[in-house]
A and B are shown apart, each in its own frame.
Chain A
Amino acid sequence: MAEKVLMKGNEAIAEAAIEAGCRHYFGYPITPQTEVAAYMSKRMPKIGGTFLQAESEIAAINMVYGVASTGKRVMTSSSSPGISLKAEGLSYLAGADLPALVVNVQRGGPGLGGIQPSQSDYFQATKGGGHGDYRMIVLAPASVQEMADLTMKGFDLADKYRMTAMILADGTMGQMMEPVEIKKPENQDFDKSWAVTGTKGQRAHNIVNSLFLSPEVLEKTNFERYERYAMIEENEAMAERYMMDDAEICVVAFGIAARVAKNAIVEARKSGIKVGLIRPITLWPFPKKELARAAESCHSFLSVELSMGQMIEDIRLAIDCKRPVALCNRAGGIIPSPEEVYAKIAELAKNGGCDK
């Protein structure tokens, strides 16, 4: 086991990316993710990698497109407003079937918003953000250790399915410091025969492109891509179950909200309320099966979010609206307190599933 170090979440992402073989990072500073870039600027020159502060977020994501075309592992990171700027590039990466890792350490929005933590880019991450039919694999860490582990996992999934993986963290995850062990990556060989690396006169040209002159061919690529997405939905959904075995109320929360929810659940259990947590680790694919299973035994659900209620829609879809789903939320950079979550759980316990 490697010795533990005390890291900020943002640093853990950067170090894990380097350990996973990423040697190209392009970014533009924005609070609260700037430490990712700061860390890369110190480390990359020492290991023969490239750190480049681009002139804008849009430039950075297009540099990512360039490196991704060659089959090399590449990353960019930003926070909410910066991710909006990258949205065009995300769509192009999807259209060209290129693997890349994109990090969003969310802050309050919309607009310039503020620098305090938020989860209000859930829709943007899981439903699109850029134009066209496409998906990204979206991973939601809830500790500094997971910031590192899911970064490595994100690179593997991106390579495996030739698509963008996104780390959807929040300002707290980026800034908080915890002991972390940077693990060794699993040795996996990924097919990169599609990469643009020079034919050396030995093979036909590889072409990386998102423009299709024939609508029939473009339609075909869309259908093929969605077959791949279906495979991911089937195989890659991840969630943590916490005190769910006898739960009658199911709290659903990710990232920092899940940590707060756990504290509230421990307190509610002391009062005899049978409540548990499902913490989605992948937001896309959403852990639908896990939630559908919970709908068989729980009388109500509670979505805890740092947004006006975005994930709550996916919860309702996952359980076919069979049970009421309540919302406990704060917005604008404010984190709900364990007491607020507890109060909402107690209310659901009293009403036995009839959300008022």
Chain B
Amino acid sequence: MDFKRIILLSGHYGSGKTNIAVNLAFALKKTRERVTIADVDIVNPYFRTSDSRRELEESGIRLICSEFAGSNVDLPALPAEMYSVVDDPTQTALIDVGGDDRGALALGRIRDGILKENDYEMLFVINRFRPLTRNAELTAEIMREIEAAGGIRFTAIVNNSNLGPETTAQDVLDSDAYAREVCEMTGLPLKMTAVHESLYPQLKGKMENLFPLGLQKKIQ
């Protein structure tokens, strides 16, 4: 799979974009020298890229994240370092955009630089098992809200349909029709289908552009 210099990920909250961003950072680090992951989520104070801080740092991946993420301070703040994502074109940057229109609003701060350089892609992460994106129509509606708030158009779809630990390979296969419908409705290509690494062997060869995910955090 080819990727541009800047990869933005967004979606309905809880679609799994942070998890995909973290996993994608590890995958890209294998072939690219300098990889940065930037957390632009100003809405959700939980489940942040900083949950994987240690693993990211060990792999030499730079993390840009609000210093308040994961703390008791529920403050929608972005660090000044965030601008380096746009200012320094020698790195590959993954940008984890917040969920929904409210979350995408913060993207406006760095939008102009991203559009000017024009070496980016913006991925819309979808999960048909989430209650507010259960069909293509509802999913496209949320996509348009995020685009309007963030000021950048999506360039491709990432199918991350899953039911957490109860997901079966068949669930993923069945979700393909939904993902294709979203693609048709929005005119966007399907970039990849993300699956938990435990399902990857069963699905390999059955779906194109399959991307295995190691879960970043688990609750008892």
Contact = CB atoms under 8 A, between A and B. Distances in A.
Given A4-B129, A115-B74, A263-B220, A31 B163 contact: no
A97 interface: no
Nearest to B43: A34
Contacts of A114: 72
B166 A4 contact: yes
A7 interface: yes
Interface in A1-22: 4-8, 11, 15
Interface in A170-186: 172, 175-179
A176 B219 contact: yes
A5 B162 CA distance: 9
Contacts of B129: 4-6, 179
Contacts of B131: 5, 7, 11, 15, 39
B52 to A, nearest CB: 17
A84 interface: no
A38 B219 CA distance: 23
B127 interface: yes
Interface string A39-56: 100110000000000000
Interface in B54-94: 72, 74
Interface in B35-65: 45-47
B220 A259 contact: yes
A32 interface: yes
A338 interface: yes
Interface in A110-165: 113-116
A145 to B, nearest CB: 12
Interface centre among A6, A114, A178, A259 (most CB of B within 10 A): A6
Contacts of A39: 131-132
B164 interface: yes
B219 A179 contact: no
Interface centre among B14, B127, B134, B165 (most CB of A within 10 A): B14
Interface centre among A5, A114, A172 (most CB of B within 10 A): A5
A142 to B, nearest CB: 11
Interface centre among B47, B74, B100 (most CB of A within 10 A): B74
B149 to A, nearest CB: 14
A5 B166 CA distance: 10
Contacts of A179: 129, 163-166
Interface in B126-167: 127, 129-132, 134, 162-166
A332 to B, nearest CB: 9
A333 interface: yes
A172 B72 contact: no
B47 A175 contact: yes
Contacts of B132: 39, 42-43
A263 B163 CA distance: 23
Nearest to B166: A179
A260 interface: yes
Contacts of A71: none
B65 to A, nearest CB: 17
Given A4-B129, A6-B162, A260 B220 contact: yes
A285 interface: no
Given A39-B132, A260-B220, A338-B220, A177 B72 contact: no
Given A42-B132, A115-B74, A175-B46, A4 B219 contact: no
B218 to A, nearest CB: 10
Interface in B159-183: 162-166
A325 to B, nearest CB: 24
B45 A31 contact: yes
A253 to B, nearest CB: 13
Nearest to A174: B46
Interface in B173-220: 219-220
Contacts of B100: 38
A177 B220 contact: no
A255 interface: no
A6 B219 CA distance: 15
Contacts of A172: 219
Contact of B72 (A35, A108, A260, A263): A108
A116 B163 contact: no
A6 B47 contact: no
22 contacts: A4-B166, A5-B131, A5-B134, A6-B130, A8-B14, A11-B14, A31-B45, A31-B74, A35-B13, A42-B132, A108-B72, A114-B72, A115-B45, A115-B74, A116-B72, A176-B219, A179-B163, A179-B165, A179-B166, A263-B220, A333-B72, A338-B220
Interface of B: 13-14, 45-47, 72, 74, 100, 127, 129-132, 134, 162-166, 219-220
Interface of A: 4-8, 11, 15, 31-32, 35, 38-39, 42-43, 108, 113-116, 172, 175-179, 259-260, 263, 333, 338
Given A5-B163, A8-B14, 5 more contacts: A6-B164, A32-B46, A38-B13, A176-B219, A179-B163
For the complex of A and B, 6 pairs with smallest distance between CB atoms: A114-B72, A6-B129, A179-B163, A179-B166, A31-B74, A5-B131
